[in-house]
Homo-oligomer: A and B are copies of this chain.
Amino acid sequence: MPLTQQDSASVSQEITVHPPNRLLFGPGPTQVHPRVYRAMAQPVVGHLDPYFFEISQANQRMLRHVFGTENEWTFVISATGSGGMETAISNFVEPGMKVAVFANGFFCDRMTEMARRHGANVVRFEKPWGGAFGDTEAAEFIHREKPKVVMYVTAETSTGVFQRGEAICQAAHEVGALVIADCVTSLGAMPVNVDKTGIDIAYSCTQKGLSCPPGLSPITISPRAVEWLQARKSTNRSWYFDIKLIGDYLFVSHRYHHTASATLFYALHEGLSLIEEEGLETRCNRHRQAHLEFVKGIGSMGLEMLVPAEYRIWNLNTPQVPEGVDDAKVRASLLKDDGIEIAGGFGPLTGKVFRIGLMGPLATSDHVQDFLAKFGDALRGADYKS
């Protein structure tokens, strides 16, 4: 007998969810490809179903490719990007451990907060929001502090800064430290190159460069870090984020840990397949081209970028709010008149920058030009605070 379409004769066929059709030019979530929506409409299978593990294994393989790694331990956590951050920290930071953080934005502060909650002695190399760390100063800091774990953010969503990681990773390994890198905003839109850079633990999310809905956090762990983890004596305070248990479930024994969402795994499979079909390099270049075109357009409108050219994230742009413009008014008018979401600055950058994402389906010349036209109109409408 086929499944009847209704569990009761009394319910309607009409759905109750009617969201506005936004163009998501913010820092994420980003626009989702129609194929990803169709994948999510495929029937749920159980979290121990052979087909579930087939999809999970394919996701692991495709994630290795976008992460730029051969790490066997490459999989997803059943939580959002911040859950990936907590996974990295709860597994690799022990009470009393010295942890070094490169602190130049909101998400480095979040890393600091989490590490402290796990009992770490955190030392910070601080720069103003919007700053980036040079190779020499980064290495000196690590050699001086000799931490056990080093943490940095590859693409700082709060500021638009891309942080190079090679010198950080080399110095960290010279003092025997593991490196945790936040790749939430970079993965799938910029080259992350986990292995080449020397990152030990990298995590991300599904709703930015991978252009899926939010809900999962991809993570990858180097053999060196796995070895450290296997030798760890103290117990992870978190059971939900215990990588040994999650890895065992997803790709070692398939022993039940939690009920992973087939639906979100389908979405990720579709998003990663889209990247594979386009080609990772082509896709990253597409984001870079859209970024360059955006910067040019912004420049001809008289706006300045917050971040110097060599440190800019391609898929998250932070032009400065021009003198006399009320940024909240610009954002409100874009949302109301054009259904366009962008974000403002926060913390020390409140009122000072716009945060404009060009990711996934929106990272094309057409969309950049369309956006710039509407953004220009909104800017003119919001000139002179009133």
Chain A residues with a Cβ under 8 A of chain B: 1, 3-8, 10-24, 26, 28-29, 31-35, 37-47, 49, 51, 55, 78-83, 85-86, 90, 110, 113-114, 117-118, 205, 207, 211, 213-215, 235-241, 257-264, 266-267, 269-270, 273-274, 277-279, 282-283, 286, 341, 360-364, 366-367, 370
Contacts and interface: CB of A to CB of B under 8 A. Distances in A.
A326 to B, nearest CB: 19
17 contacts: A3-B361, A7-B274, A16-B270, A19-B42, A19-B55, A20-B49, A24-B46, A45-B341, A78-B214, A79-B240, A80-B258, A80-B260, A81-B259, A110-B239, A213-B261, A214-B263, A215-B263
Contact of A81 (B21, B110, B258, B278): B258
A124 to B, nearest CB: 17
Contact of A207 (B79, B207, B214, B259): B259
Contact of A239 (B31, B114, B205): B114
A1 B361 CA distance: 13
Contacts of A14: 35
Contact of A264 (B55, B215, B258, B283): B215
Query: Which among A1, A264, A267 has the highest number of chain B CB atoms within 10 Å?
Result: A1
Given A8-B278, A32-B44, A79-B240, 20 more contacts: A8-B283, A10-B279, A11-B278, A16-B273, A19-B42, A19-B262, A24-B44, A40-B263, A44-B213, A78-B215, A79-B83, A80-B260, A114-B239, A117-B235, A118-B237, A213-B261, A213-B263, A215-B261, A215-B263, A215-B264
Contact of A261 (B80, B274, B366): B80
Contacts of A47: 29, 214
Given A16-B269, A80-B259, A214-B261, A37 B41 contact: yes
Contacts of A34: 5
B29 A46 contact: yes
Contact of A18 (B42, B286, B370): B42
A183 B216 CA distance: 24
